[in-house]
Structure 1
């Protein structure tokens, strides 16, 4: 079915080897399907005609019917141009061409009426149009496609334009493809779906997305193709989830024993929130089913995900299993290690830290204890997935900030036991619901959406450069109260290209404003050795320094409840997610905390929106929704490697309702026909197995 989609575009009439090569390099178009799915990014309304007196240079394009009254080639060699005048019953407009002068002059006849289309301008106070499209006026010309329709506009490049593959060139190729192969484009959704949702047939949708008959037909085509795209993704994700639950058995944690009860009743330093208890209950139910758990735990910064993960670890220990926690950086792994050690105390469980910095002799001890089962919990970085790391009986793998790990890295951890371990994936980057359903649609999702009792919301302010003295004043007041301050810079050294505040200059400024011996400063950045980084971090953690000047290495993994101020220099250059992560480094104690966003006065529209959003709300999920609107799913950290978000037409920021509808429909289909064995669902079975799905689906979460 639809084998024509796999045909290399080089075989299409009008393409050839050279054009095929540039289409592949610049637009990723290799097949007929790629060309059909290179959708227009906007449409020009060719249904409207303007009078010359109504033309405004601010308009993007205009179309007029006017009679040619004059034409002349003016100038010599490099300054030659063709000038023509056209007139309607309201005024006169000048047309000018600087290229293809002789050919254009030949086809223009004084006294004839023309349909003229182009970008309006003005010269010496009169209406003018440079290089317009010109077509002789007739009743037949008006009826032809192009003058009474919405005209598609495609993304192109300068290289493509050298091969005449601008909008018109791409349009010609698409028209050729549809003319020659429309009958070969078969339906890929069952008839009952088409009828239930009143969807336009597939071939009509492709025709109307590229050559819309009218605005209503374009809307129907967009809806049909968005439905198909989201449906295909959900079908594959939910089948993946179903296959995993059928195929991969999991350890049963039937016992809630001494480890869990001792910690909960005597060592837990605070009351669990309702949200934390709910998540623990969901995990408990997962681990009783005899099926491998694959759960995503979303929680805003400071919401208490680590405690939930630890209690899940204790559940594994109570049932005779080992556990591990894998983090993407040494800083975050070390932070988890110290946090958990502080929570459990000495002599309760055996915990070890394994990172690239651990010495060989210490590694041997860790390896030995892992293999003989005396090591209960191993926390570390990528070092955990090395072949030398062998568990006696791994029952639970916790993966933090998992979007920073590749599929194969996660797979290695997953294969550390004969019976696959339960997997708890954690992220402190709140993900909009639509994005979570698309990125992690084959996982069960839990959310911790409340902060521990006693936490005060962080007060966020936006300061411009001329308010720096006020910033210093706030820092000094907080330090005088015994608090500490983070100052984050985007660069280490000054860049000639980017006029940003850089860390080295920042240290100088801070040292002058906060001199020894009254104030002490730590400096942390990515180019320090792991040992130096840890030394500086620990000085700040212990309260030996008042200010930590750092780059974004402190985005995750630093927990200093005494720190009450986060200052972010050049805040407009950071993404919303990163700003929110950095702000989450403060507000971890009971005292009021502050986040100051420093910026210059020149801000882009999106830059201003990001800073205004941060000032307006502390809700990570609201922030993530705005981030999705501003950046689109493909730019959200981690989504590129997922292989899922190569969306051609659907928009997760605006098509949330459609995604929900599609997902519910797919769930119902699998409920009624799990194997897609019914005759009416054979078309869907083929969609799952077709090679031209364009998506890569892994079974590792």
Structure 2
């Protein structure tokens, strides 16, 4: 391997990097050390993929003329070419006797839910059950609502007026009342419910499945690997796994962080979605811009549309006093809060419109009620925290104002912006910031305003944040566990290392003939990280 790649021996590399004679020496040494790092990491991942492929799973092939066909027949539109291709990949995986491990990433609004739903129906057709895990209750309720709407009478199996081929779709969240919850648990054990949608409550010990065949995890980075795992252990044999994320992950990161998952990408937007225009509103330099922003909101509402206003904080006095002090010391005012902003707006620029608030500390029933009123068009302006970041779908909302936008990450802004322009009217997103024009924060906002391509943004995001500890828990990544390797610059190295690693592991999964490599692997993956990798 070393000869094939023209790499210098390790001892020589270490000497050269510490006491280089020439520039070429440094280059040689770095190439060798980078390669080592990438290769060992990819061997670790390849071994995991190999081990996963040895696990048994029940092949799930949809029966012709069953639930899936009935559902496809009711769809009022045709699938995009991308959706069809990805669906095929998923169905091929489901038909094998090893658990599927697939990462489905799609732009905001590219129709991932539909692809996932078709996979779930296929599994139900084949006699299994499918579970969908959502990170928040608002999102679980939203998925449940949109899936039952999409399925129509097919979601009412066993009920009056339901279809013969139908199945039962149940919701399971932590805040449900006991009777509803007991019924949901019962439906799962008996197999009456083919599809369950829930939050972390699905992971609890009490939850038993009749025959769990597929787990769909929505918004991967919100879930610890352990949780994904706990749910997977509910099946009699490991169920198939489909991970969905709307946060585009650059290819190399997908190869390292989710190196144990095969990746599918949905990159076409469904017909009829409108583009979103994004502008930065410099509130400090040009206060009249902000006044104009509120006028724009009013104009949209008068046209019969709806608006979101997003703030970084709730502001009900429960925020940590330490943080407040820190903010004051740092000379920055504390971040704007939902409750204050809502009050100012309904008194001032948006007086006379119906303004409501939504945040994570509200009672779940209230949250659901507000979302329903907003979806029904009774609420014109919703002032919210980032609880609306993922999956909220109100096609009539066309404008979003993000206050203190510099306090959100790039991917987060991109996610939030995906909540508008979901119907036929064009969307508008206004990023309000008081940061100085030359500050890095403003450069970030300008980048978000400049492109709608999530993959491009995720690269920018990564370059600014460093990669995050690829194998460990730290998401934000100032201290990256990679010493020489930079995930973005070294795309080539990583891709080659992945191929070589797959070859080595296929030939010798236990690495019995390669004691040196095993040693390097043990050094990289001290027990705790190996554990973390295992749980993936």
How many residues align structurally?
A: 504
Tell me the equivalent position of 1:424.
242
- Residue 454 of structure 2: aligned partner: 620
Name 2:299's counterpart in structure 1. 477
**Pairing partner for 1:594 from 409, 428, 440:** 428
Write the mapping of 1:169-248 to structure 2, written as runs, cut at 5 A: 193-248=1-56
Contact map agreement 2:280 2:449 (CA 8 A) in 1: yes
CA offsets, 1:639-690, max 9 Å, x none?
Answer: 627999621221012111111121122233345555545x5x44334544x3
| Offset at residue 327 of structure 1 (A) | 0.9
Pairing of 1:533-572 with structure 2 (within 5 A)? 533-572=367-406
Q: Distance in 1 between matches of 2:102 and 2:476?
A: 17
Cα distance in structure 2, aligned partners of 1:364 and 1:408: 25
Equivalent residue for 2:409? 575
**Change in 2 beyond 3 A, CA 1:229/1:483:** same
Measured in 2, the distance between the counterparts of 1:362 and 1:533 equals 18
Paired residues of 1:486 and 1:567 also in contact (CA < 8 A):
yes
Partner of 1:326: 133
Which of 28, 44, 59 is 1:251 aligned to? 59
Residue of structure 2 equivalent to 1:394: 212
Maintained 8 Å contact 2:410/2:461 = yes
For residue 279 of structure 1, the aligned residue among 72, 86, 100 is: 86
* Aligned with residue 585 of structure 1, among 405, 419, 422: 419
Displacement after TM superposition at 1:437 (Å): 0.4
**1:662 is aligned to 2:469:** no
1:358 counterpart = 2:358: no
Tell me the TM-score normalized by structure 2. 0.89
CA distance in 1, matches of 2:436, 2:467: 27
Quick check: 1:439–1:642 contact (8 Å CA) kept in 2?
Answer: no
Give the match for residue 174 of structure 1. Answer: none
Per the alignment, residue 684 of structure 1 pairs with: 517
Query: Which of these residues, 456, 459, 477, is aligned with residue 274 of structure 2?
Result: 456
Give the direction of change, closer, same or farther, for the CA distance of 1:661–1:202 in structure 2 (3 Å limit): same
Task: State which drifts further: 499-508 or 411-420.
Answer: 499-508
> Residue by residue, what CA displacement relative to the aligned partner does 1:136-189 show, whole Å, maximum 9, x if unpaired?
xxxxxxxxxxxxxxxxxxxxxxxxxxxxxxxxxxxxxxxxxxxxxxxxxxxxxx
| Cross-structure match for 2:95 | 288
Q: C-alpha displacement at 1:427, in angstroms?
A: 0.8
Say if 1:511 and 1:554 are closer, same or farther in 2 by CA, change over 3 A: same
SS at match of 2:265: strand
The residue that corresponds to 1:415 in the other structure is 233
Question: How far apart, CA to CA, are the structure 1 residues paired with 2:33 and 2:485?
Answer: 8
Match of 1:693 among 516, 525, 531: 525
Matched, 1:340 2:172: no
2:483 is equivalent to residue 648 of structure 1: yes
| Deviation per residue, 1:324-383 (Å, 9 max, x gap) | 101111111111111101101132321111111111111111111111111111110111
Task: Name the CA shift for 1:295/1:645 in 2 (closer, same or farther; >3 Å).
Answer: farther
Name the structure 2 match of 1:69.
none
List gaps (5 residues or longer) in structure 1: 1-192
Judging changes above 3 Å, is the alpha-carbon distance between structure 1 residues 282 and 393 closer, same or farther for their aligned structure 2 residues? same
| Cα shift at 1:522 | 1.1
- 314, 317, 340: which is aligned to 1:492? 314
SS of match in other structure, 1:633: coil
SS in 1 for 2:432: strand
The C-alpha deviation readout for 1:477-502, integer Å capped at 9, x for no partner, is 11111100000111223945142333
Contact 2:60 2:123 in 1 (8 A): no
d(CA) in 2 for partners of 1:636 and 1:649?
A: 13
For the 8 Å contact 1:464–1:600, the answer to whether it is kept is yes
Alignment-derived partner of residue 86 in structure 1: none
Q: Does 1:509 align with 2:321?
A: no
Residue 160 of structure 2 corresponds to which residue in structure 1? Answer: none
Q: Under a length normalisation based on structure 1, what TM-score does the superposition of the two structures give?
A: 0.69
2:466–2:476 contact (8 Å) kept in structure 1: no
| Matched-pair contact (CA < 8 Å) for 2:406–2:441 | yes
Select the structure of larger CA radius of gyration: 1
**Contact 1:333-1:557 within 8 A present in 2 as well:** no
**Contact kept in structure 2, 1:489 and 1:502, CA below 8 Å:** yes
Deviation, 1:524, is 1.1
Are residues 670 and 207 of structure 1, via their aligned partners in 2, closer, same or farther at CA, if it must alter by over 3 Å? same
The answer to whether the Cα contact below 8 Å between 1:393 and 1:417 also exists between their aligned partners in 2 is yes
* Equivalent-residue separation in structure 2 for 1:526 and 1:375 (angstroms): 29
Alignment gaps of 5+ in structure 2: 157-165, 318-323
Q: 2:222 aligns with which of 367, 384, 404?
A: 404
CA distance in 2, matches of 1:491, 1:329: 17
Is this contact kept in 2: 1:276–1:308, CA < 8 A?
A: yes
Q: By how many angstroms is 1:433 displaced?
A: 0.5
Deviation string for 1:216-263 (max 9, x for gaps)? 222222221111111011111011101211233343325344100011
Which residue does 2:116 correspond to in 1?
A: 309
User: How much does 1:419 deviate?
Assistant: 1.5
Q: Alpha-carbon deviation of 1:396?
A: 0.7
C-alpha change, 1:254 and 1:523, in structure 2 (3 Å) is closer
Contact residue 212 and residue 218 of structure 1 kept, 8 A: yes
Corresponding residue for residue 610 of structure 1: 444
CA distance in 2 between partners of 1:281 and 1:642 (Å): 35
Task: Decide which moves more: 245-254 or 450-459.
Answer: 245-254
2:265 matched residue in structure 1: 447
